[in-house]
Structure 1
């Protein structure tokens, strides 16, 4: 009887988890397709544009993900309130999440517009800096809608309404890719704007997705009962502080993780344009695959937060292990594909038959093989981190991230890449080591908390 009940509970958890994870992971993949399409189009514009445009996109991604991570503190708090059926608290958290979006995004728009002052000291060429500035001067206007969408997405997904998120993101992605092509290459009578055209299309898509999700929250029968957009003028400092307490470590964690990859990219840039271009090809591929574990982690936060609200420790463990198993199986399958078909994957971005690309391809192949191994553990650690967020444990994982990525990963990568002259491969091995360390620390942390 007990065994049958356990199997029934497990099947129920898998079913409910997948209802959240599939739309959220699909939305993340669709959103990352924007960067994927940008990279493909940058590659068709030349190696210089590919390297510099990839660097600019990575800088913007670092800023956006850090800021969005802070407002993502909305998700575990609302999930817990939803589990304990506190409707008034759900409304208040959602409203303060919107306030937090405004308080963070407005200063960031100004800061992003003046990054060229700092970038001059990073050792990049003048041509690279020119492309980066062109891209960021436009993309900064996407910070407000991007963060607003993240806050609303966290609210809607925590209330187990994930499907519209997927539909909106897919629509925004299709719009972005089409207008990337039109504005980037000057099709259908529009001017050829190159990198600037890609940025204009991306900002337009971010505003469209934010407005669409806000309208859905206003008109959906289940969601409009929470009256999220009513009494927005009321600022609740205590709830804002709760969001900051949970969300700032998430933002710092995300920023440090993204910043780690940005430092690696800067180091790649010092090794030459070809190394930077090869790195961008591999990184963009990994980022797109990584969106599935990221979407899974969002679902994990919601499921664990829900069971935390109901004070059910057994179900918390069950939700976490379901997430870790699904994420690991997915990344393992993709890694095998990378190991079997590396040239075909690189061929998505570059013409492998063109002798002008031979040097980039020769560099990219070993980088892709190293990344294939790293992403399995990266998927695992992201799932565990989602569970830790659901438990509202964000401070300690932040310090574990600093130790793993910035303490060990960068040291190993720099030592191998420059000390032993392994170049880009050495830097990627550093990333692999960092991922192993952080995954082990997170699993230990979750086991410790779940036994209390």
Structure 2
């Protein structure tokens, strides 16, 4: 599709569903491939034992928590890019400067995410004392620091990849990012295996593999954009070393609340991982199995939400508010339908899924697998709410509505969910299961709040 090509929006939920799925499919596969990297490494670390697996999840929990500011600012590019592209459809050439605006927004998002990442690196490098201060076992904290010191170098590449993926989504050509991500899965297995086992890096090898594979993904996507005649026209990296204040401010206004929302969401799951660490290596390993399985299913509505951001942004930029409303509601319905199916699957197949991660001959592996199966049942309970909240948040981002959703996430996750989980775990004596029930409560509250917010925005 040429940069100036426009399409005529056609009304009707069936048409919108097809358009959303066409855009979401490659994005979902991209997200699943990213999750496959984590799952692959977890299964490899599980061959080393429960301590290595538990340390890996602690390190990755810290990684994703500290990635949130840069990730959120990188995601801010998507609604800006989509609305720029939507402006190309305005009548009478009203949006004639959209190519220039697309370039400025993309560069600004690259700068903003890079600055946010640099601020987190000292914490990543000194992860062990941070984790010990959070009550983690000193041995697990040191192993988790090994992971963090390798994985920290993946942050810039990952965020830049997200910015460029948003550009491709706005151009309605997301397939390139999908193919690059799928190739990365094939690359990750031998790289991670070689670093963890023959090279003898162990847990640190898993972190280094993330950095190597993410750098390769970014390089491949940059090559694709450079070689494409249409994409080359945008000169996305031309004079990228000269940041401009006005686009940076716009990215910050949209992106900082997104970063805040992500930090709140990722942070509450990271806090749950730390809380599980208080119950020992078995609980931490069981949590690793359950959270990574739940995260894998979450990648689908996350991709739908990212596609909905683009669809709502395109319609909003073109002045088509009924189209934006339709895109949001259809996307929410698609996300809810998928996650309802996953809820049934996780509840029914929990023991079999849990058994895939740990070698049963290793010490305490049977105990960890049994606890993981119980946690997977709880994970099944909050699938529907998780799907609704992430797609609704994506629809709101398409309208550049990010500040209020951040406050809603703070209330649901930290005001209600986490305190409930800690109370059930310690005061009610439910232990690790109580922590996960708190996640179920918090996710459900956020879903209801996000749904209400989108209903008000869609009616405006």
TM-score band by shorter chain is over 0.9
Question: Which residue is equivalent to 2:80?
Answer: 77
- Measured in 1, the distance between the counterparts of 2:137 and 2:362 equals 26
Question: Which residue is equivalent to 1:24?
Answer: 27
Q: TM-score by structure 2 length?
A: 0.93
Question: Which residue is equivalent to 1:127?
Answer: 139
What's the RMSD between the two structures over aligned residues?
1.8
- Measured in 2, the distance between the counterparts of 1:217 and 1:7 equals 30
Aligned residues: 444
Q: How far does the alpha carbon of each residue in 1:181-211 deviate from its partner, in whole angstroms, 9 at most, with x for none?
A: 122121xxxx222112212221110100111
Q: Which stretch has the larger CA shift, 108-117 or 428-437?
A: 108-117
Secondary structure of the structure 1 residue equivalent to 2:382: helix
Secondary structure of the structure 1 residue equivalent to 2:12: helix
Query: 1:105 touches 1:143 (CA, 8 Å); kept in 2?
Result: yes
Question: Which residue is equivalent to 1:436?
Answer: 444
- Measured in 2, the distance between the counterparts of 1:109 and 1:411 equals 29
Q: How far does the alpha carbon of each residue in 1:267-322 deviate from its partner, in whole angstroms, 9 at most, with x for none?
A: 11111211111111101100111111111111010000001111212111211122
Whether 1:221 aligns to 2:224 is no
Shift of 1:153: 1.4
Q: How far does the alpha carbon of each residue in 1:32-52 deviate from its partner, in whole angstroms, 9 at most, with x for none?
A: 001101111111110111111
- Measured in 1, the distance between the counterparts of 2:369 and 2:122 equals 38
Q: 1:111 aligns with which of 118, 123, 137?
A: 123
Whether 1:178 aligns to 2:190 is yes
Q: 2:42 aligns with which of 39, 43, 47?
A: 39
Structure 1 unaligned blocks of 5 or more: 1-5
Query: 2:149 touches 2:204 (CA, 8 Å); kept in 1?
Result: no
Shift of 1:353: 7.8
Secondary structure of the structure 1 residue equivalent to 2:356: coil
Structure 2 unaligned blocks of 5 or more: 1-8, 89-97
Shift of 1:119: 2.2
Question: Which residue is equivalent to 1:54?
Answer: 57
Query: 2:412 touches 2:445 (CA, 8 Å); kept in 1?
Result: yes
Question: Which residue is equivalent to 2:179?
Answer: 167
Question: Which residue is equivalent to 1:3?
Answer: none
Query: 2:42 touches 2:357 (CA, 8 Å); kept in 1?
Result: yes
Q: 1:12 aligns with which of 6, 11, 15?
A: 15
The within-5 A match list for 1:226-241 is 226-241=234-249
Question: Which residue is equivalent to 1:198?
Answer: 206
- Measured in 2, the distance between the counterparts of 1:420 and 1:102 equals 43
Query: 1:109 touches 1:143 (CA, 8 Å); kept in 2?
Result: no
- Measured in 2, the distance between the counterparts of 1:300 and 1:270 equals 39
Question: Which residue is equivalent to 1:102?
Answer: 114
